């Protein structure tokens, strides 16, 4: 896979994937709008065209003005040595990347694609999240999205994809595709992310083995599933609120509002926030989720601090809690996370540690580690949006040093697998079960920082390893890792 997401999705032993983009005009490693959003120096309207060199020069100028780690930028770098803008940006940020401060979080994307995704969750695909098992030779559906072709074709969590082809007569097994060309060959075999792309898949699940034809279409991702995204779990008579948030985009807010209103009406004080596949998104949506969980917080208590480099300190902000009419005052929160949990997801988890301490826990495996966020700098004539790591985030205790994940900074953790043998939010599913155990005060084994070591005891192909990522992920794939 392309380096930038080979790193962002250097996913952990169970599964991995992490987004690194943010939404709005300013976002974090989850992404979100810093309040107020910084005002970038406008691109001169007299700027020439969109040649590679002009775009490279523009990108370099933005980095030199806004990059959070200016001391890591090379004093000079010959743009002519790089064939495209992406490779030039990678070279400019190489030092910060080597220091694990910017693991390909600074990148170029499309204004139009980002706008479509962040405003409505719109993208083209099968509407499925793929993951490889530990052998790296078997492909499974980790999740299917409502209103999309894959689910309509009967492909859901736990379905194995045995073979891929453009027709039923040229099917190639997943194992043979990967053996011949690695995961890049597999993502190529699945076709381009354009509406109308059709593939024939041989699949296997509890109903048996069969062949289905699925065509990619434009669909709108529901950030909170209508099937399992929000519900109340009865755990031996104890009511536990469960939220599974796929991505932080503004369209999640109505569903979150309705769910918490239900929790509040039913007296729920213990909740599971499932962010296991959530690579980030809008900071504003992360802050809204924090407000819904912050019924016990006052408007003078800090949710997070946003800090820019010294020359841009006028953009620094402090975000206080703003409890909503639907907010609850949880006594315990279990956050389910993995190596694919990043950015805005980590921001929310980190925000509650100073207040709930060991009554707030990370369940699953270590998270990715992205305590920084990007702003969006646009060159409209070229449909270029440069996502630049420009600010860091900290919680009320001023902790933002979790570049290696949250496992060693939160005060309570419980190790658990992501078991796709059961639906998300099912009390029998390993991570959900462990979250319920934590909320009930039952014992568990702690997460270690080395998530790879934690995977050595996996005994079933239904326990995920890596979310599948293409070499050059689109906007949706950055924020919804594994999606096709």
Task: Output the DSSP codes for 160-176.
Answer: EEEEEESSTTS-EEHHH
Q: What's domain 230-371+391-453's superfamily in CATH?
A: 2-enoyl-CoA Hydratase; Chain A, domain 1 (3.90.226.10)
- At residue 449, does pLDDT exceed 80? no
Please give the pLDDT value at position 324. Answer: 98
CA-CA distance, 245 to 185, in Å (whole number)?
A: 30
CA-CA distance, 10 to 22, in Å (whole number)?
A: 19
Please give the pLDDT value at position 31. Answer: 36
Please give the pLDDT value at position 465. Answer: 56
Identify the weakest region by mean pLDDT among 15-19, 71-75, 334-338.
15-19
Q: Which of 21, 127, 45, 11 is CA-nearest to residue 379?
A: 45
Share of the chain above pLDDT 70, in %: 87
Domain ranges of the chain: 3-120, 126-220, 230-371+391-453
126-220 to CATH, choices 1.20.1560.10, 2.30.42.10, 1.10.10.1100, 3.90.1150.10 = 2.30.42.10
3-state secondary structure labels for all residues of 447-478: CCCCHHHHHHHCCCCCECCEECCCCCCCHHHH
The strand pair at 270-274 and 238-244 is best described as parallel
Helical H runs in 155-222? 174-189
Q: For 30-56, write each residue's pLDDT tens digit.
A: 333 333 445 555 544 445 689 999 999
Is-same-fold flag (126-220; 230-371+391-453)? no
Identify the weakest region by mean pLDDT among 66-75, 128-137, 408-417, 463-472.
463-472
- At residue 454, does pLDDT exceed 60? no
pLDDT band of 118, cuts 50, 70, 90: confident
Q: For 229-274, write each residue's pLDDT tens digit.
A: 999 999 999 999 999 999 999 999 999 999 999 999 999 999 999 9
- CA dist list (Å): 355 to 215, 241, 295, 360: 48, 19, 12, 9
Gyration radius of the chain over CA positions: 22
* Average confidence score pLDDT of the chain: 88
Q: Largest Cα–Cα distance of the chain, in whole Å? A: 68
DSSP assigned state of 410: S
CA-CA distance, 211 to 186, in Å (whole number)?
A: 18
- CA dist list (Å): 461 to 368, 420, 430: 23, 9, 14
Helical H runs in 78-173? 85-92, 94-98, 111-120, 149-152
CA-CA distance, 203 to 160, in Å (whole number)?
A: 6
Please give the pLDDT value at position 119. Answer: 80
Please give the pLDDT value at position 48. Answer: 61
Please give the pLDDT value at position 103. Answer: 86
């Amino acid at each position: 896979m392309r380096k930038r997401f080979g790193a962002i999705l250097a996913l952990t032993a169970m599964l991995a994937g992490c987004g690194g983009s943010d939404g709005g005009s300013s976002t974090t490693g989850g992404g979100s709008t810093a309040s107020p959003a910084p005002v970038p120096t406008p691109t001169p309207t007299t700027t020439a065209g969109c040649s590679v060199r002009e775009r490279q020069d523009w990108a370099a100028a933005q980095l030199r003005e806004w990059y959070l780690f200016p001391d890591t930028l090379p004093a000079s770098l010959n743009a002519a040595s790089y064939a495209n803008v992406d490779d030039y940006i990678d070279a400019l940020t190489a030092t910060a990347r080597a220091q694990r401060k910017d693991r390909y979080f600074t990148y170029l994307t499309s204004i139009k694609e980002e706008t479509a995704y962040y405003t409505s969750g719109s993208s083209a695909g099968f509407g499925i999240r793929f993951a490889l098992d530990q052998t790296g030779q078997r492909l499974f559906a980790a999740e299917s999205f409502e209103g999309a072709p894959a689910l309509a074709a009967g492909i859901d969590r736990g379905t194995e994809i045995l073979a891929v082809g453009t027709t039923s007569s040229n099917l190639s097994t997943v194992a043979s595709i990967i053996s011949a060309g690695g995961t890049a060959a597999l993502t190529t075999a699945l076709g381009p992310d354009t509406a109308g792309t059709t593939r024939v898949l041989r699949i296997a699940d509890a109903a048996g083995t069969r062949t289905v034809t699925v065509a990619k279409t434009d669909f709108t991702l529901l950030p909170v599933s209508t099937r399992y995204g929000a519900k109340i779990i009865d755990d031996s008579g104890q009511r536990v609120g469960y939220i599974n948030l796929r991505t932080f985009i503004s369209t999640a807010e109505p569903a979150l509002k309705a769910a918490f209103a239900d929790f509040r009406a039913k007296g729920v004080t213990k909740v599971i926030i499932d962010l296991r596949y959530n690579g980030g998104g809008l900071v504003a949506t992360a802050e809204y989720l924090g407000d819904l969980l912050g019924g016990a917080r006052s408007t003078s208590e800090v949710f997070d601090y946003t800090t820019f480099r010294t020359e841009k300190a006028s953009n620094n902000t402090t975000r206080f809690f703003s409890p909503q009419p639907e907010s609850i005052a949880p006594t315990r929160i279990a956050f389910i996370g993995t190596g694919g949990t990043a950015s805005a997801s980590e921001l929310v988890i980190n925000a509650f540690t100073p207040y709930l301490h060991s009554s707030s826990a990370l369940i699953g495996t270590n998270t990715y580690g992205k305590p920084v966020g990007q702003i969006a700098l646009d060159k409209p004539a070229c449909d270029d949006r440069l996502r630049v790591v420009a600010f860091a985030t900290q919680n009320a205790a001023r902790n933002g040093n979790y570049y290696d994940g949250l496992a060693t900074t939160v005060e309570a953790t419980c190790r658990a697998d992501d078991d796709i043998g059961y639906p998300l939010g099912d009390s029998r599913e390993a991570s959900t079960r462990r979250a319920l155990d934590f909320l009930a005060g039952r014992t568990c084994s702690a997460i270690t920082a080395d998530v790879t070591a934690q995977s050595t005891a996996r005994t079933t192909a239904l326990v995920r390893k890596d979310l599948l990522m293409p070499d050059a992920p689109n906007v949706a794939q950055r924020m919804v890792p594994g999606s096709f």
